Every structure is written in C-alpha cells, then in structure tokens.
Structure 1
C-alpha cells in the first residue's frame, strides 16, 4: 500500500510540475504581467491554478505525531469551469496510521451580488482535540505549518455538513452551518455522565458565524468591491448549539467563541498587533469539543530535544495536552520593530512578544483516562523572535513565568526556529 501511494504521489507531483511548467511557458509567450501577478497571488493563497481546477497546496505534504507523513491531493474548480457552482475535494494518506482521509463537496451560487453560496460536504478525516475553527475565517496558507509537527491528540470524525454563506454587507460576512458528526478519539478517553460512559460520540450541531471588519476600505472595480485597504480592529463571533436526540445526537451543549485582531502602524514603521481569543462551552461537552490554548511545546526532557519551529499565535512554552478548559481567554501582543536595513535583500526583523491565557474546567472528573491541568491562575510567557535571518528562517526565544512557572529553569524555556516566507 505504501509503495502504491508513493508511486501515486510521484505521478501526481509530475502532473503538477507539468501543469506549472505549462503555465509558466504560457506566461513567457504572452509576457502578460497581470497574469503573472495573478499566479503569484494564487500561489501565496496556497493554490496552483490550472485552466479549470485550482490545486490546493495544503494537502501536498504535512507531518504530525499520529499520521507521520501525510500526503495527497485536493482542490476546487474555478470560474473557468463554472461561475454558478463549484466542486471541491481532497484525498490524503497517513503513512503512520496507514489510513486514507478524504472530503467531497460542492456549492451552488445563489446570488452573485451578495456572494451567497449553498454548500454541502462529506468529510472523513482527523481533527485536533480542543481546536476551534471559525467558519468565516478567511483562508490562511503557510508553506510550512509548525504546530502540526508536534500534535498527537486527534479524533476521527465523519461529518455531513450543509452551509449557507452570505455577505450581509461588504464589511460583514456570515455563514450558517448544520452538521452531523460521528466522532471517535484516537487515544484512550471516555466521557462519564450520570453513570454512563461514552468512548464514541454523535453530534448534531447548528453553527452561525459572523466576521465584521468595520474599518476596511474598498474601491469600485469590475470585481465587485474588492478590499483596497485592510482596516483594524476586526471582530469574529461564532455560536454553536449541539442538540441531543436530533439525528441521534448524544449531547446538549452551547459554545460561544470570540476573536478580535487589532493592528497599529506607528510612524517609525514599527507595528503593534494584538490578538484576543475567547471561548466558553456550557452543557455536556466531551473533551473533543472543548478548548486548549494553542500549545506548541513538545513533552521532552531538554531544551534542545524540544527545539522545533515556533508558530504564529501559539504558546511556545506550554506543553501539548498540559491544559484543557471549558472557558478560556488568550491575549497576545506582538510588537514588530522596523526591519534592520543591512542590505536591499537582507532585512532581518526583531519582534517582541507577550502572551497570556486564563481558563477553567467545571467538571474535570467527567473526562476519564486523560490528565490535564487548569488555567485558572493565569499563564504568562514573553520573549522575542529574530526573523528572516537566512532563507526565511529565524530564531525564537520564549520564557514561561508567573503562576505556572516550573521548578527547573530549563523547563520554562522554549528556543526554536521561526519561518517566514512571503510571495
């Protein structure tokens, strides 16, 4: 099976390379700078465009502690295929768990003026336990996603989802989703409630998500009010309700998630960025649907054994699976100093960082066969990054202090690479 998958991947990569070469040759013949800019923009968003189908680069190669090497193909049809409907799917294979994961879906555009889409998807994949995603978050692509390398706590899920995207206003986007999920943790875990225990869960959920950018500025073009200048602050809110007894759902609970991002550009070319994230779950909620605080530290003995790659918004000194909460808040301040102008192409940048997290768990005894702590005393770390030292790589140093300071000084230190590449 592994040889077959490797052969299939090689063939697919060859096809992608040929498609990319074909595109590049077309650009050389036409010498159309607009099309080249479009290609660079698509690549920066994580797509390799072809005539009718845009390959999604997020599915090519990844790695984590459960699947090992995860590789495959995916993508979505583009407007040359149709401007009234789209088809999106992916197929990946994990070499450590020896299992295929996939998603098949599509959407129908109901109203171009408000960018209204009716979507459906069927997904059989993994999700990190304790992670939360906002439906209205804009697509974010990194060539290299550092946190994925060290994640080991996943749950399998098979999910049917139908959703409605609608732009209420050029500055206000919304999405409504109904989903039915069958969830099974990949680790030994049981949820205990009223004398019963569950090791597998069925969820029937309704979710509404709103993204508001009141300070964005726009200009009229043929592309229907594209964003001209990004404004801050930005606000996102998401409400999720799980229903017991609806399509065999096991639990009643409600979750409310909030996110605010604010950025200040100073006259001396310094930039201050503040990120606030908060969530609360009320009701009977298994660990799979609760919260961690974006940890990114490996549970190994020495600082150098824990040496890895720092994330963009993660707590670098917080160990994986150290804390879980049913209510939490994180606040992060990053201050970007003006890049050092050493040469035209070599401009490293110093970033000062402080992060804070607080949270709690109402009924920790319900979560069995797993050990974790509470964040009710408040967690603090500070440090700095020196980015873009060589080929996009830099260095990060972070120190953990305050209520959760550990007895050994070395256990409070995180020393890591950073990776920043822009097209």
Structure 2
C-alpha cells in the first residue's frame, strides 16, 4: 500500500508528442466559440471549427487560447480539454484599466472590508444555540470524464502491461489495475455539530470509514476544514496576495449579490491581464458570503466551490466541492496493423489526470435548540461510531460502483501491507511518539544537547492500551557523552476512567536538570520541541534522585489540574555551596500545576487525550511548596506562571507571552530562575535555535533571580511577498524583555549576576526563509545591558516554521 501511495503523489509528467482534443466555449452562454486560435510558445497550432473544436498534436506542457472579443486563457495540455473564455463585454471592459495598473478595485475592497467587519455577526456562533449535521466524502481517482476511456485502454492492453514490467515499474501496473475498477482512496465521515453560548461547541463524529484502515485514526477523523473560519480570500492580511474587481450583481435564491472577481497577484506579466482565478458572491443586504468559486491558473488543475445558506438570519456553510489534480499518468493505446504481430503494432500515448475530490454536504439545521449540559460533557470531540456501519443513514447520495469497489480493493491491500500499523506510527508523531506494537516511544528523548552533558542519547518507552487499558508502565534511560553518566527512570500510570485523562502516577528516577528551569509540565509537544535549545549554553546542572506520587485530572475540556508529592536528594554538579552548607540536600515538596486552555479542541482516543487544535488564550500555573518533613532541608515557596494570547487586527497578528516567577524563603540556586539566556560569550557570532521563553542575545547560565517578570511580543506584519518558487513569505517584529531581582545573592557561593534592570532585545523574523522549513531571525540587544561590542549585542536565530508562534 505504501508503494501505491508513493506512485499516486510522485508520478512525474511524461514528455513527448501527444494527440489532444480541445473544445472552446463561451463561459456566460455555454455556446461554442469558432475561430479561436490555439498557440504554444507563440506558434499557432490551429483554430477551432464552428463547433469550437480542434484536434492537434503538441509536446507543449501548456497552451494559450485567444479569440476576438474574448480574454486570453492559458491551460495545461491534456488529451481532452474543455476551456471557457470570458467575453470582453462592456461590464468587464471598465475593469480593464484597473487590471493593467495591477491594483484592486476600491469598490470591491470596500465591500470586502464590510464582509470582514461583519463576519462574526453573520456567523452561526453569534446565535445562542444551534445544531446541524454533515456528510463528507474524500477520494483519489482519475478524472470522472475519463473513466470509460481508461477502462477501454486498460482492458485492450492488459496483456501488454504484463509484458512491460521491465519498462514500467510494478507499482505503475498495480496502480493501473486499481484505477480500472475502483478509486485509489476513499474516506467518508458523518458529523453532528452542537453549539451553545453557555457550554461552547461540541462535535460528535457519528461515523467514519477510511479505505485501507481497519482501525480509525482519531486525530485524522477529528480534523476540520474551513467550516467556521474566514476564507483566505476575505482575510485582511491576504489582500496583497489577490486583486479584486467588482463586476456585476446577480440574484441567487431571491437575494441580490455582489459579484467580485479575484485573481492571484503573482501571475507573470505575459498572462497577468484578464487572469481571474475566481468569484466571490456577497449578499448585498447582510454582507454575508453566499458563494466562493476558485479556479487555478490552469483550469484543468482543479477548482474549489463553497456555498453558504441563510438560516435564522445567519450564514451557515451548506456545501463544499473540491477537485485538485495530483499527478498525470500516461498509457499506451495500441492499435494492431494488418499484420497480426506485436512488432507491427502502432502505439499512441494517452494520458489521464489523477485528482483529489472532496464533497461536503451540511443539513438538518436547527436554531434555537434545547441545551442539555450532558450533551457538552467531555472533550470537544466525541466519537460515537467509527466502523462505517451507520454511514448509510447520512449519505446524501448512494455510493457508486467504483466507490463500493474501493473499500473491497483498498481494504485488502491495507491488510496485505499492514497499513494500520504504519498509520498509527505516523499519527503518533502528532504527540511526539512513535508506536510499535504495545510500546510508545518518545521521540523527544532520542537525542538532545546541552552544555553539561553534551550530546544526550536516550530511549523512553511506555506500554500502551494494547498491553492494558488501565495500567501503563514506562521507563527511560539516557547517557551523556560529556559527563559519561547514565540516567534512568521508571513509572506506572493507573487510569481511573477511559472517558478522559484521569490517572495516578508513581515513579522513581535518577537524572540531571538545568538550574533555574521554568516548569514545563503540561506543555504541548510543540512547545517543548521549541524549547529544546534552551540549555545549549547553560552548564549549571544539578542531579536529582528520588520518587514521586502524583494525580492528574482533566476537570473540563479546557481545565487540567495535576498534584504531585516528591522526595528527592539533590546535588549541584558545578562549583557551588548554599549558605556554607555544601552542595547536596534533601528536599520534600509538593507541586500543584494548572493548565487553562478554554478554546483548544481535544479528542479522547484509546491512546489518551489528543490535542487537535491549540487555541489561545492559555494559562499555565505552578505552585511548589517545600517542607522540613520526611528529612527535607528546606521550607520555601515557589510560584511561576505563563500566559499566552494571540489575536488579530487590521494591522496584523499579535502574539503575547507574559510570564514570571517568585521564590519565597531559602532555596538552592537551582530553584531560582536563570532567565533563559541562549547566547555564548566565546563565539564570534551568536547563533542559536529558538526557545519558547529564551533570549537570543542574553548569555546562558550567567543571570539568576528569585523573582522576575518577562514578556515576549511578536507581531506579524500584514505584508506578504513572494519567496523562491511559489512560496509566500512574511515578516514578524519581535520584542522581548525581562526584569527581576534577588533578595539574598550572598546565600549562593558561585559566580553569577542578578538581572535587576530591564533587559530588552528587538528582532525581525523572516518567515519561510528562502522557501525553507525555517524562519530566520535577527536580534539586537537594546537598553541598559547594551555593550560596546557588536557581537555581544547581535544574534541570529533559526526556528522550525511548523512551530508557528
């Protein structure tokens, strides 16, 4: 199965002369256009007849079509094509000057401004409550109009395919066999959406089936489209990526609508003129979106259509249709000559485009509804059924014969190639895990680097629900190349329910950690991954050995509470003494951690809770209390908190991280805060990886405070520009700052400084740097701690762009 999917996505275009048939019609009237000229590289290939038809041979990848009084069109060459041309009528002629100047029509922009301004009030979520259902179908197949021709050629040349294994890969032959009787992929899903202003949103997955998989991929079936999101063409920050022109008004469902044509702003100069890529239909009374039609530059590449319906004075999504070309496959059409001999057969190449199809239908709208708190319990998503047995109740139309065959053909291939196991491995990466049988391996523990251990190699494994649904043992071990020491830990989770995350945990460990670490408990995998480089230049580490007992409970979808009691032996692994008492202590403490993320969406799976969409605001809070009990040497109190928010305005997207900490009482230096410096004084140029709370120009492991506050502000400028290829880049302005103090620095006998003045750095991040998977940032230290040395004030920083804000 893996090979088949590789074939689907990686087929290259095969060059060579091919026979093409073209029909050109008037887009508005649907009538044929005679005498339309077809050209390739400025060479005329022919003109259409009175039926708008032309048959020609060409090795060109794309062709141009132009006719008198029509806008020129460019399309990708296919064996059979139907192309529509737009008439240069008086209504569109008035737009021509604006197009030549390559700027949007001010009237169209004003309408879009009102659409954006009124989107929330037009949204169903402005109602007190509602409910509706949906049925979605996603498939991979050849062009629907080419199925009969494909089957004819495949049946005529089946024996030929067998003999061509040396020329064509076995994968190619297998894919052709699949396409002859079924689709390559089929996924059906039925959902129910409930909303209440009081209780929030709930999505029930009524049923689901994916060809080739016997067990559902819960993270996949919970993924959502643009059902309640502003379409990209409407977003203020995307205005620079499109050109908009008000062309007409039209009546749809007895309501008047503005018609706005749009096109991408990146077309080459030779084809920029008259190159629209879609239509927006905007209700003239409410400024709600009625319909969006989007067609790629080359019409045969695909199209996307979304339609909304006015229900209870709000605009609900009613239907979506997507067709996107994935690749192109060529087959030999063999015609025997008078001599019945293979050597005298005549071959013609015939190609077939393979496409991804999506069809979504929404129905059974109700508003207002009776609100039962029981209907909104648990996480955002609840899986009612996932074996496909009840899908018949929700299908808006019966499955075709090819679709019914798909489940039989692809399911059998899925069993043969063990697709279920491979899919679970891939989806486990969402939460930072790789699943192999009854074990889940943490990929974040495989390799790390810090200044004390150097490269740290490790292995962390946890027995999953395949071992036992309620009991889950785990272990890890690691080895540092610099300190040449092994570290290890062993634990056991005991679940109290399978409906949500609620479990007791007991563990024993012997490991090291960096001094002054900001607690990261309950952080998402993406946040922890972003923070991996935090200790590259911090060599102040301490060893901790002990045991803990903890309990974690998801009180609601957005509120998690965890409690832990720990008894540790802690020892500084650097030259340090606390109040002349040495560097080794006993510590008994309790830790309460709270995470509040009211807008994030989660789903409960057999593997546990999975985060589908992380939304802001979020709050993380830790309260640690140490006791002089059970042999403990300390009696301190420690707080830290992190608040994250992200919001959009007409001026761009702003991200905010506010965080801080406080230590009361006497505690060793590793219980204070190291301020997250990433720079190294020994380097000529500061270059580091991003850190979730770090400073690019601040020296690592040098500053410590027992109280501090800090901020991390980013602002995505509403200006987008083309990078290498077809990728779009943008710029983020970044401002970071922190200030704190230490009440008793004399308690700590080692070399450090307290950070008691405002430390600030400013930066600019180039997102999607040179079309790579990284963002490049440049930062400069400003304010009190600025030095005369440029290299100390300046730093480069790389960030994996998938980490986002």
What TM-score do the two structures reach when normalised by structure 2? 0.45
Give the C-alpha shift of residue 334 in structure 1: 1.4
Residue 94, structure 1, aligned to residue 480, structure 2: yes
Q: How does 1:186-197 map to 2 (within 5 A)?
A: 186-192=573-579, 196-197=580-581
- C-alpha distance in 1 between matches for 2:457 and 2:522: 26
Task: Give the SS at the match of 1:262.
Answer: strand
Give the C-alpha shift of residue 226 in structure 1: 6.7
What per-residue deviation string (whole Å, max 9, x for no partner) do you get for residues 274-297 of structure 1?
011111000011101111211111
Aligned residue in 2 for 1:272: 654
- C-alpha distance in 2 between matches for 1:47 and 1:166: 21
Name whichever of 132-141 and 408-417 sits farther off: 132-141
Task: Give the SS at the match of 2:575.
Answer: coil
Cα distance change, pair 65–87 in 1 and its aligned pair in 2 (3 A): same
Aligned residue in 2 for 1:354: 735
Aligned residue in 2 for 1:328: 708
Cα distance change, pair 28–310 in 1 and its aligned pair in 2 (3 A): farther
Name whichever of 327-336 and 309-318 sits farther off: 309-318
Residue 156, structure 1, aligned to residue 540, structure 2: no
Q: State whether residues 170 and 225 of structure 1, in contact with CA within 8 Å, keep that contact through their aligned partners in structure 2.
A: no
Residue 291, structure 1, aligned to residue 291, structure 2: no
Give the C-alpha shift of residue 106 in structure 1: 1.2
Q: How does 1:77-156 map to 2 (within 5 A)?
A: 77-140=463-526, 142=529, 145-156=532-543
Which of the numbers 759, 762, 787 marks the counterpart of 1:406?
787
- C-alpha distance in 2 between matches for 1:267 and 1:53: 48
Task: Give the SS at the match of 1:80.
Answer: coil
Aligned residue in 2 for 1:253: 636
Q: State whether residues 44 and 422 of structure 1, in contact with CA within 8 Å, keep that contact through their aligned partners in structure 2.
A: no
Cα distance change, pair 50–403 in 1 and its aligned pair in 2 (3 A): same
Structure (1 or 2) with the larger CA radius of gyration = 2
Task: Give the SS at the match of 2:518.
Answer: coil
Name whichever of 102-111 and 143-152 sits farther off: 143-152
Question: Where does the alignment leave 5 or more consecutive residues of structure 2 unmatched?
Answer: 1-410
Aligned residue in 2 for 1:59: 445
- C-alpha distance in 2 between matches for 1:85 and 1:185: 35
Cα distance change, pair 361–82 in 1 and its aligned pair in 2 (3 A): same
Q: How does 1:14-33 map to 2 (within 5 A)?
A: 29-30=414-415
Name whichever of 53-62 and 283-292 sits farther off: 53-62
Q: State whether residues 537 and 701 of structure 2, in contact with CA within 8 Å, keep that contact through their aligned partners in structure 1.
A: no
Give the C-alpha shift of residue 113 in structure 1: 3.5
Which of the numbers 562, 566, 589 marks the counterpart of 1:205?
589
Residue 43, structure 1, aligned to residue 429, structure 2: yes
Q: State whether residues 150 and 296 of structure 1, in contact with CA within 8 Å, keep that contact through their aligned partners in structure 2.
A: yes
Residue 378, structure 1, aligned to residue 761, structure 2: no
Cα distance change, pair 419–28 in 1 and its aligned pair in 2 (3 A): farther
- C-alpha distance in 1 between matches for 2:765 and 2:520: 27
Q: State whether residues 162 and 177 of structure 1, in contact with CA within 8 Å, keep that contact through their aligned partners in structure 2.
A: yes
- C-alpha distance in 2 between matches for 1:333 and 1:27: 52
Aligned residue in 2 for 1:15: none
Q: State whether residues 531 and 690 of structure 2, in contact with CA within 8 Å, keep that contact through their aligned partners in structure 1.
A: no
Task: Give the SS at the match of 2:786.
Answer: coil
Name whichever of 53-62 and 148-157 sits farther off: 148-157
Task: Give the SS at the match of 2:769.
Answer: strand
What per-residue deviation string (whole Å, max 9, x for no partner) do you get for residues 342-398 of structure 1?
477634442211001011000000100x22222222111110122332542342211
Q: State whether residues 290 and 325 of structure 1, in contact with CA within 8 Å, keep that contact through their aligned partners in structure 2.
A: yes
Aligned residue in 2 for 1:173: 560
Aligned residue in 2 for 1:185: 572
Task: Give the SS at the match of 2:702.
Answer: coil
Q: State whether residues 530 and 692 of structure 2, in contact with CA within 8 Å, keep that contact through their aligned partners in structure 1.
A: no
Task: Give the SS at the match of 1:231.
Answer: coil
- C-alpha distance in 2 between matches for 1:301 and 1:233: 38
Cα distance change, pair 123–349 in 1 and its aligned pair in 2 (3 A): farther
Aligned residue in 2 for 1:417: 798
- C-alpha distance in 2 between matches for 1:227 and 1:67: 32
- C-alpha distance in 1 between matches for 2:722 and 2:741: 45
Cα distance change, pair 37–29 in 1 and its aligned pair in 2 (3 A): closer
Cα distance change, pair 214–285 in 1 and its aligned pair in 2 (3 A): same
What per-residue deviation string (whole Å, max 9, x for no partner) do you get for residues 74-97 of structure 1?
121222222101112111111221
What TM-score do the two structures reach when normalised by structure 1? 0.83
Cα distance change, pair 209–170 in 1 and its aligned pair in 2 (3 A): same
Q: State whether residues 160 and 181 of structure 1, in contact with CA within 8 Å, keep that contact through their aligned partners in structure 2.
A: yes
Give the C-alpha shift of residue 109 in structure 1: 0.5
- C-alpha distance in 2 between matches for 1:165 and 1:218: 16
Q: State whether residues 463 and 474 of structure 2, in contact with CA within 8 Å, keep that contact through their aligned partners in structure 1.
A: yes
Give the C-alpha shift of residue 321 in structure 1: 2.2
Give the C-alpha shift of residue 259 in structure 1: 1.1
Give the C-alpha shift of residue 413 in structure 1: 1.0
Aligned residue in 2 for 1:21: none
Task: Give the SS at the match of 1:137.
Answer: coil
Q: State whether residues 500 and 604 of structure 2, in contact with CA within 8 Å, keep that contact through their aligned partners in structure 1.
A: no
Cα distance change, pair 326–228 in 1 and its aligned pair in 2 (3 A): same
- C-alpha distance in 1 between matches for 2:624 and 2:459: 30
- What RMSD over aligned residues (CA atoms) do the two structures have, in Å? 3.0
Give the C-alpha shift of residue 147 in structure 1: 2.7
Cα distance change, pair 134–148 in 1 and its aligned pair in 2 (3 A): closer
Aligned residues: 390
Aligned residue in 1 for 2:682: 300
Cα distance change, pair 131–103 in 1 and its aligned pair in 2 (3 A): same
Which of the numbers 358, 362, 366 marks the counterpart of 2:747?
366
Aligned residue in 1 for 2:455: 69
Cα distance change, pair 309–229 in 1 and its aligned pair in 2 (3 A): closer
Residue 237, structure 1, aligned to residue 621, structure 2: yes
Q: State whether residues 128 and 153 of structure 1, in contact with CA within 8 Å, keep that contact through their aligned partners in structure 2.
A: yes
What per-residue deviation string (whole Å, max 9, x for no partner) do you get for residues 239-269 of structure 1?
110011x12111110011111100114468x
